[in-house]
Structure 1
Amino acid sequence: MKRFVHAHATHPQWSVATAQVVAQLRAQMAAHPDRRWPLGLLYLTDHYADHARELLASLSAELPQVTDWAGAVALGIAAQGVEYIDEPALSVMLCDLEPTRYRVFHGLAPLPAARGPDGFVPQTALVHADPATPELPELVRELAERTVGHFVFGGLVASRAGAVQIARSSRVGLAGHGQAAAEGVWEGGLSGVAWAPDVGIVARVTQGVRAITPLRRVTAVHGHRVEALDGEPALDVVLRDLGLPAHDLGAIVARLRGTLVGWVAPAAARTPAPPVPGRVPLRLGEDVLVRHLVGIDPAQRALVVADELPPGAGWMLCERHVHAARADLLRIGAEVRETLAGESDADPLQRVAGAVYVSCNGRGGPHFGGANAELQLLRQALGDVPLVGFFAAGEIAHHRLYGYTGVLTVFVADADER
């Protein structure tokens, strides 16, 4: 695996943008005539959704060496240092990987458990999912369990065109698999690419919020309804932590409308060193899941959260915060560099073959201070590495669904092939 090639373009006409991308890719590929590019990662904004099948067919015809494709249609997509949000654009990365080192999967050709019939063993997987899929958290968890690393990454695909996904595999015969398999464009369910254990991958999650209240414990809960924190009525604890008057319902609603809940699984489940109760953390860890606070019950002094919290879960209120988001994004870039530097004497950024970045629809440049600001920060942290990705309606990392996060996955070039 050597450094990947990538290209991106914007134009009102999908055919013109596609031609521009093909020209860019061919120029890069011409410099490496001995290399193979069997896998393409493709992301489109929904301005091209009606032409997704034609666009994929055009790319396949112009780049016949690319036999497998995966990707999605979204409101916004990412490229190296650039965000295309609510404008017609596509972003493509071609991966120099032997076909034995990955598998494209979709609803008619799902990822097999542990080891496929051809001996393929998935280490991890890039996942695109329809947010309307029933029992989605359980499906993501099950998919992660099918990998050796019990780790997947990706996001929930949502756009004005629906949950359109791209998954075409040369390994799946067209007979009996219908028109969708032939065209490679799907709606609904899960799809993506699984990676073999010998594909070097470094992944990190960055949170886009900061805690504004101390850590509490959920001591009484019924489904989405949190009734007590630290043994006291939940609403009373929240009002005290935020310094809100108990009698002013209008002020309470106004303050909580922009407030999020960060929760952590009970210590006995997956938290070996839980935060100290009563302390506001300086940074939210990857074990914190951020969800919307969707209602209050003044009579019963309870709150309603857009998730089912287990008894004993950690609880803190959060808010979106630009400076915290910027600092945390730079942090994960530094962690990637440090990880790669610890494995070799070579320049760590020269070891990056390519990257996939999935960010929340609620993030993007405007949240970071200007157009393209989020991707420019990532470029500052990683350098000019090939990168594609999209803005999601929810992010996937480990075996969980996140919100207001960015999920960065870096592919590490083989030691003898940089």
Structure 2
Amino acid sequence: MKLFPTGHATHPQWRMAAGLVLAQLRAQLALPDYAHAPTLGLLYITDHYAADAQEILDHLGAELPEITDWSGTVGIGVAANNAEYFDEPALSVMLCQLPSDQYRVFSGVAPLAGAEMSGFSAHTALVHADPATPDLAELVAEMAGRTDTGYLFGGLSSGRAGALQFAIGGNGNIRGHGAARGVFSGGMSGVAFGEGVRLVSRVTQGCQPVSRERVITQVEGNVLLQLDGEAALEVLLAELGVSLAEPHQAIEAVRATLVGLVDAGSDGIRRTGDLGADVLVRHIIGLDPTRRGIAIADRAEAGMRMSFVRRNAQAARADLMRICAEVREELEPEEQTLATARAVAAGEAEAAPHPARRIAGAVYVSCSGRGGPHFGAPGAELQIVRHALGDVPLVGFFAAGEIARHHLYGYTGVLTVFTADD
């Protein structure tokens, strides 16, 4: 297994940043442990470069003609293997060497064709989507249904000047693109992977429960009316210890509170008191004093479970370390060679990317509400990943919502690594 070359840089002028990234990529392409013939590029840029997105893609395509396929998007921040660039001009690139028959780039104008038509069967998919797309949750679920496993990973573009995505394939075009040059807005795009591309993926929560779990016993659309048979608004006020008689105090408390939803029988609040991977965190968008209800930013159904949650930096750090440890444990063989043991046990100062870790590359999509100050310092979130997972090739971005399996998440991180059996 070869490592995927990565490069990242920040500079007020995108051409200077691109030059720094290309220098890193070319240096790694010449190293024996890195892939020498990648064909798929993952490109993430901050919204400072959004106006130059087409020029950036054209430039990278011209400088790296061996890369026939590109996918990516824009975010308020981008991630690299040991740093994050949040609210500053930057780009992050990873070049993936995968069998050409084991992946397909798709977009809204060139959707993923079924196996009976294309001969390609999607097993999993990396997806990027515009948060303004109507019925986005249904679109994500429909896309998940087109894969054998139902597993998607990715996120929603978070550019302040409008969302955009990169999707270009084959000889510089995808069937159906027409004259399009690879930069799109609206809908969904990404890369579907075949069964031969092995992935390990985990979701990390960024919130902590502040109440016990309850069953939604009455709901109308997105308005929760009863929880465990009690008026939802009364339950909320009692849990927060506030009253509508003191509106300012109540409003402040409600603004800091979110709702964690989970289907019956799914992974809700764990015994440790943390949120399970199935919990979907949604905002409270209004109170209904007449019906004593709570309006949330999603539709719910009777029988679902819910809890009131709040963002919690300490819980987010602990959960991020937990999922990194789970990934490492899953990838470490029961019997290790001396080289593998040394690479896995290396301290942070010596933790250079190494094939013995069995991770060719990683994609990390984190909520834009988690970056920067939420973890205590600039770059702290990605430093936690490096400390817990080791220094591995990594790209990603800070999203307006995260995608994992067939769900849209909020305040979470989605870590996915490309690995191999050998």
TM-score, normalised with respect to structure 2:
0.92
1:229 aligned to which of 227, 230, 233:
227
Contact 1:261 1:291 in 2 (8 A): yes
Q: 1:18 to 1:174 in 2, by over 3 A?
A: same
Which segment drifts farther, 398-407 or 27-36?
Answer: 27-36
The one-letter amino acid paired with 2:336 is D
Closer/same/farther in 2, CA of residues 245 and 395 from structure 1, 3 Å limit: same
Structure 1: gaps of 5 or more residues:
none
Deviations 1:293-320 (A, max 9, x none): 1111223221111111100111110000
Q: Work out whether residues 263 and 303 of structure 2, in 8 Å CA contact, stay in contact via their aligned partners in 1.
A: yes
Q: Secondary structure at the match of 1:178?
A: coil
SS in 2 for 1:117: helix
CA distance in 2, matches of 1:300, 1:175: 52
CA shift digits 1:260-290 (9 cap, x unpaired): 00011133xxx2x7669xxx86110011100
Give how far 1:54 is off: 1.1
For 2:207 and 2:90, the matched residues in 1 are separated by: 29
Matching of residue 47 in structure 1 with residue 44 in structure 2: no
| TM-aligned CA distance change 1:84 to 1:408, over 3 Å | same
Asked whether 1:282 is paired with 2:280, we answer no
Other-structure match for 2:64: 63
Match of 1:150 in 2: 150
**Aligned partners of 2:334 and 2:113: how far apart in 1?**
31
Report SS of the residue matched to 1:139.
Answer: helix
Correspondence for 2:353: none
Cα pair distance change 1:161/1:250, threshold 3 Å: closer
One-letter identity of the residue aligned with 2:4: F
Match of residue 339 from structure 1 = 330
Equivalent residue number for residue 192 of structure 2: 194
Contact 1:208/1:321, CA 8 A, preserved across alignment = yes
Match for 2:296 among 280, 290, 305? 305
Residues of 1 paired with 2:389 and 2:264: CA distance?
A: 35
Letter in 2 for 1:122: A
Separation in 1 of the partners of 2:101 and 2:399? 29
Q: Is it true that 1:72 corresponds to 2:63 in the alignment?
A: no
- Within a 5 Å distance, the mapping from 1:211-222 to structure 2 comes to 211-222=209-220
Pairing 1:228-307 to 2, within 5 Å after superposition: 228-245=226-243, 247-267=245-265, 271=266, 282-307=273-298
CA distance in 1, matches of 2:27, 2:280: 43
Shift of 1:342: 4.9
Structure 2 vs 1, CA of residues 343 and 309 (structure 1 numbering), >3 Å: closer, same or farther? farther
Match of 1:413 in 2: 420
In structure 2, give the amino acid aligned to 1:205: V
Q: 1:364, CA displacement in angstroms?
A: 1.0
| Whole-angstrom distance in 1 between the partners of 2:31 and 2:292 | 66
Displacement of 1:246 after TM fit? 5.5
After superposing the two structures, state which structure 1 stretch, 73-82 or 246-255, moved more: 246-255
Please say if residues 218 and 228 of structure 1, whose CA atoms lie closer than 8 Å, have aligned partners that are also in contact.
Answer: yes
Alignment-derived partner of residue 128 in structure 2: 128
Equivalent residue, structure 2, for 1:94 = 95
Mark the CA change 1:404 to 1:138 in structure 2 (over 3 Å): closer, same or farther: same
Q: CA deviation at 1:344?
A: 6.2
Deviation string, structure 1 residues 72-121 (Cα, Å, up to 9, x no partner): 111111001111111111100001112111111111221123x1534211
* CA pair 391-34 structure 1, distance change in 2 beyond 3 A: closer
2:404 is the alignment partner of 1:397? yes
Q: Rate the CA distance shift 1:398–1:176 in 2: closer, same or farther, 3 A.
A: closer
1:139-178 correspondence runs (5 A): 139-170=139-170, 177-178=177-178
CA RMSD of aligned residues (A): 1.9
On the 8 A contact 1:214/1:281 being kept in 2, the answer is no
The equivalences for 1:29-48 within 5 A come to: 29-32=29-32, 35-48=36-49
Gaps of 5+ in 2: 345-355
1:350 alignment partner in structure 2 = 357
How far does residue 171 in structure 1 lie from its aligned partner after superposition? 5.9
Identity of aligned residues (%): 54
The secondary structure found in structure 2 opposite 1:3 is: coil
Q: Is the 8 A contact 1:214 1:241 kept in 2?
A: no
After superposition, the Cα gap between the structure-2 partners of 1:218 and 1:281, relative to the gap in structure 1 and judged at 3 Å, is farther
Q: Distance in 1 between matches of 2:361 and 2:254?
A: 40
Provide TM-score, normalisation by structure 1: 0.92
**Counterpart AA for 2:291:** Q
CA contact (8 A) 1:109 1:172 kept: no
Tell me by how many angstroms 1:23 deviates: 1.0
Deviation at residue 366 of structure 1 after TM alignment: 1.2
Amino acid of the structure 2 residue aligned with 1:165? Q
Q: Is the alpha carbon distance of 1:167 and 1:214 closer, same or farther for their aligned partners in structure 2, counting shifts above 3 Å?
A: same
Question: CA 1:314 to 1:97, structure 2 compared with 1: closer, same or farther past 3 Å?
Answer: same
Query: Equivalents in 1 of 2:56, 2:173: separation in Å?
Result: 21
